[in-house]
Amino acid sequence: LKPFWLKRCLHPSDSRLFLGMCLYSSLRRLNAKLAQRPLAAAVTFSSVKASGADAFTQSVLEGKKSLDRDRLSVFLVFGCLYQGAFQCFLWTRVFERIWPGRSFRASLSKLAATNLISDPVFFFPTFYTLREALHSQVLDVRKVVPTALRKYRENCLRDWIAGWCVWVPGHYVTYFCLPLHLRVPWAACASFAYVCLLSYMRGDVNKEKSVTSPCSLTPWRAFPRATSHDLVQYCLLG
């Protein structure tokens, strides 16, 4: 807050300039702290984003009176371990060793590798396995993994296309515009809407048992009440 004497002395345009300088200074300090601890920043941003997105989806989009804690824990663990720790290591260490620098060819290679290799091979199998383990409360890997991969195989094409619609342009910003320490925080902020979509599509196991053809629904009524398969197909058909 500005002192009283400063409010009286500053012209409105000067006041806006002063606030802009304060905001710029605050952002510079935040950027410096993120650069000092990129892993901690990645884990914090991703954990808060993933759990917050699912809580928003359950309470607002789905209108649930009480949150499903098992489902919420799926996204919290997923955001912390995969989206935070693993992606920070993959994007800032592995990819930079394979395609160093910020040339057009290197950035395009990282974008393609993320959307065509990282997400289909690591992202979705990890999510489906975590979800299956937490929902079934079975710790036997021999039972959890095959079941999770079977469900992933049934939904993979729809999940890939839904992801590419968001992350081809999203990761253009990630690799072409941002420094290393801001890549995961940017993805965490930009993916809030995508995680809401993923949560609505794949978060509730019971929803996947009932599938209704989107062709029988009008465009204005299909989206709010669509099942997980309906939502994806409606996005594809729309």
This model's pTM is above 0.75: no
Tokens of 149: 């991969």
pLDDT digits 0-9 by tens, 114-152: 999 999 999 889 888 887 887 787 778 888 999 999 999
Angstrom distance (rounded) from CA 90 to CA 177: 18
Using a 10 angstrom Cβ sphere, with 0-12 exposed, 13-18 middle and 19 or more buried, the burial of residue 112 is middle
Query: Considering only 16-25, 64-73, 137-146, which range has the smallest mean pLDDT?
Result: 16-25
Which residue from 142, 151, 126 is spatially nearest to 201, judged by alpha carbons?
Answer: 151
What are φ and ψ of residue 71, in 5° steps?
Answer: -65, -40
Which residue from 78, 46, 39, 17 is spatially nearest to 202, judged by alpha carbons?
Answer: 78
